[in-house]
Amino acid sequence: MRYTQTLRMLNGLKWLAIVFAAFYALVVIIAASNGFLGHIPHGDKKFEIPLPALFALAAFVTCIFCSSYGRTLSSENEDHLPVVWTRPKSRLQTTLTIVGVDSLGMLAAFAMYLLLTAVFITTFQVWHYVTVPSDALAQFGRYIVQPFAFYALVMALTASTGCAGRGLVGWFWVGAIFLGILAASPFIPNPWHAIFNYVNFLNPLAYGSYHTTSGTETINVMGGPTPTYVAGLAPVMDAAALLILFAAGLTLGLIQWRRLEA
Amino acid sequence: MMMNEGTPAISIDRLTKRYGQTLAVESLSLSVPQGTIFGLLGTNGAGKTTTFKCMLGLARPSEGSVSFEGRPLTPPLFERLAYVPEKCALYEWMTGAQLLEMQRRSFSRYDDKRANELMDLFALDRKKKLGKFSKGQQTAMALVLAFSIHPEILVLDEPAAGLDPVHQRHVLDLIIGESAGGATVVFSSHQIGQVERAAERVAIMHQGTLRLAGEVEQLKSDLKVVEATFDTDAPSLNGLSAEPSVGQIQRAGRLVRVYVKGNGDEIARKIGDMHPRSVRILDQNLEDIFLTTVGSSGSAMAADVAGASGR
């Protein structure tokens, strides 16, 4: 399974690289045609690019990327089980191999997005605007774990399905975004607001928000001025909560996979 | 790993599989001796594929058990066991070369030389993606992967489906060749002629139950057809249907065929008393046996024979 999954993952990364390259080319062409290449006009306002904001965006893009890889078990259930289950490996070993390869792929996707960002920053010569807050490392920990939690929950949701898993992933995105909106909305009365807030602990996308204020500038990434830390304490706690979601998702996915019949 | 002589390669003990209210396989018991070619026959929906799935752990038996060489199936056994499912389960996005590489990395017994010979035998393009292969080529690719690991046990579900007659013959030769090398082969096919040519033992399933099992030659010698031709329309043979050895009676104009258990002499004598133009006793071929077995009127007789010739 390692070989098959590696091929799948490399194919996914190839397409991600193509999309990034196309996006970069488009932005550069538009910027160049407007005379912005080499600098970005920002008036008199203090301009800042906090490093964790870039991590937050990288995590979000990686979540999109791993939407399909989270349903690998489900895609094996689209008629491939007689191949997967007649190898001299247990289902547990097979699953762990898949998760291992996917993990490397997710890290690669995260790194590729950061690389794209670095290329943009270099192209537009805005390195001096990048700031590194004191909690940048902890924030990095949170954002690097977020796609893993997302991946595992997709796996838990789809492991026992076949083709239907594709639709479920779409609905998972809709549900996760909608739940985040409900939890953030100040117009929802209690106890509903409290309930949505609690359920939102299970929503991996909710852990992706980044919000910081510096002088007159407010940076909102992935969720706006709602709680920056879902677990409410620190990025480390959020990372711990995401790790729990990751472990729980994998366990649920594996239980279903082991009960499945071809 | 060497097997003990006398221990069946595969033992199925009272296997039952239910899907909800549907009984797919009911109390099936079979024993496949080592090094034999075993044909599993049955109409569509007879339970052959479900039986294979239960054997290989792809489906959980509702009751009963399956053992290989006296032991339950465990993942390491798949190092020596190959399965070709009825429906191609390979990855359509992979090329022939990638599928071979997948096999090489999964099985220590993988033989690259053998795999390449088989790719050439079935005229498969290594650079082409499986999704671009025809159905027959996809089946052939699955067979290449299965035979490339020199399996000791081969389970093939309709291995010749979709193949042209030339490649069907290749499959038959491969099956016979593997068996000659000591492998145990269990395969299902609707091509009864192929089963008759290759299999030493057969089992016939119908509606989820075993109707007949035994050695092909033994079954053929135990079951005869008494065929008589009359000058006018064949007379009613109702009197014969009460005979315990008579299974099915077919009348078509002046011709009458009576399927019997045993040597058929007694029945031939009784028909001879009706003054036919000719009467002769023929061996039943496997197709006759199959059709009589799955036909409702032949079931009782077939069950008797199964009791006598089965496991």
Whether residue B198 contacts residue B171, with contact meaning beta carbons closer than 8 Å, is answered with: no
In chain B, the percentage of residues whose pLDDT exceeds 70 is 93
Q: What is the mean pLDDT of residues A137-159?
A: 94
B42: pLDDT strictly greater than 60: yes
More confident residue, A91 or A221: A91
The pLDDT value recorded for residue B1 is 45
The total number of residues written for chain B in this structure? 311
Q: What is the mean pLDDT of residues B187-203?
A: 92
Name A218's Cβ contacts closer than 8 Å, sequence gap at least 6: A211, A212, A225
Chain B nearest-CA distance from A81, in A, is 7
A215: pLDDT strictly greater than 80: no
Chain B nearest-CA distance from A221, in A, is 37
Three-state DSSP class for B239?
A: helix
B41: pLDDT strictly greater than 60: yes
CATH architecture of B10-207: 3-Layer(aba) Sandwich (3.40)
Within chain B, which residue ranges are assigned CATH 3.30.70.100?
218-309
The pLDDT value recorded for residue B110 is 96
Chain B nearest-CA distance from A87, in A, is 6
Within chain B, which residue ranges are assigned CATH 3.40.50.300?
10-207
The pLDDT value recorded for residue A162 is 84
Whether residue A92 contacts residue A254, with contact meaning beta carbons closer than 8 Å, is answered with: yes
Report how far residue B65's alpha carbon sits from residue B81's, in angstroms, rounded to the nearest whole number. 18
Q: Which of B89, B98, B102 sits opposite A82 (nearest CB)?
A: B89
Give residue limits of the domains in chain A.
2-26+45-259
User: Where residue A226 falls among pLDDT bands split at 50, 70, 90?
Assistant: very low
Contacts of A83 in chain B (CB under 8 A): 89-91
Q: Which of A4, A81, A85 sits opposite B102 (nearest CB)?
A: A4
Contacts of B85 in chain A (CB under 8 A): 82
B125: pLDDT strictly greater than 70: yes
Report how far residue A127's alpha carbon sits from residue A48's, in angstroms, rounded to the nearest whole number. 10
A47: pLDDT strictly greater than 90: no
The pLDDT value recorded for residue A41 is 58
Q: What is the mean pLDDT of residues A20-34?
A: 92
The pLDDT value recorded for residue A206 is 86
B209 in the Ramachandran plot: left (φ > 0), alpha (ψ -120 to 50) or beta?
A: beta
More confident residue, A8 or A193: A8
Contacts of A88 in chain B (CB under 8 A): 75-79, 106-107
Computed over every residue of chain A, the mean pLDDT equals: 87
User: Where residue A219 falls among pLDDT bands split at 50, 70, 90?
Assistant: low
Contact: A7, B94; criterion CB under 8 Å: yes
B90: pLDDT strictly greater than 60: yes
Q: Which range, of A18-27, A102-111, A124-133, A150-159, averages the lowest pLDDT?
A: A124-133
Computed over every residue of chain B, the mean pLDDT equals: 89
Say which amino acid occupies B27.
S
Q: What is the pLDDT of residues B207-266, one digit of tens each?
A: 999 999 999 988 888 888 899 999 888 787 777 888 888 888 888 889 998 988 888 888
The pLDDT value recorded for residue A214 is 65
Say which amino acid occupies A232.
G
Contact: A87, B81; criterion CB under 8 Å: no
> Which of A4, A77, A86, A94 is the best residue to mutate to test the B interface, defined by the most B CB atoms within 10 Å of its own CB?
A86
Whether residue B208 contacts residue B271, with contact meaning beta carbons closer than 8 Å, is answered with: no
Q: Is the ipTM of this complex over 0.85?
A: no
Q: Which of A3, A81, A88 sits opposite B78 (nearest CB)?
A: A88
Contact: A86, B82; criterion CB under 8 Å: yes
Nearest CA in chain A to B53: A262
CATH architecture of B218-309: 2-Layer Sandwich (3.30)
Contact: A3, B105; criterion CB under 8 Å: yes
The pLDDT value recorded for residue A218 is 63
Q: What is the mean pLDDT of residues B35-62?
A: 95
Q: Which range, of A12-16, A235-239, B113-117, averages the lowest pLDDT?
A: A235-239
DSSP label at A129?
G
> Which of B19, B77, B105, B149 is the best residue to mutate to test the A interface, defined by the most A CB atoms within 10 Å of its own CB?
B105
Q: What is the pLDDT of residues B71-87, one digit of tens each?
A: 999 999 999 999 999 98
Whether residue B48 contacts residue B28, with contact meaning beta carbons closer than 8 Å, is answered with: no
Q: What is the mean pLDDT of residues B200-210?
A: 94
Nearest CA in chain A to B90: A80
Q: Which range, of A104-108, A221-225, B261-265, B302-306, averages the lowest pLDDT?
A: B302-306
User: Where residue B201 falls among pLDDT bands split at 50, 70, 90?
Assistant: very high
DSSP label at B257?
E
User: Where residue B198 falls among pLDDT bands split at 50, 70, 90?
Assistant: very high
B32 in the Ramachandran plot: left (φ > 0), alpha (ψ -120 to 50) or beta?
A: beta
Q: Which of B59, B90, B102 sits opposite A262 (nearest CB)?
A: B59
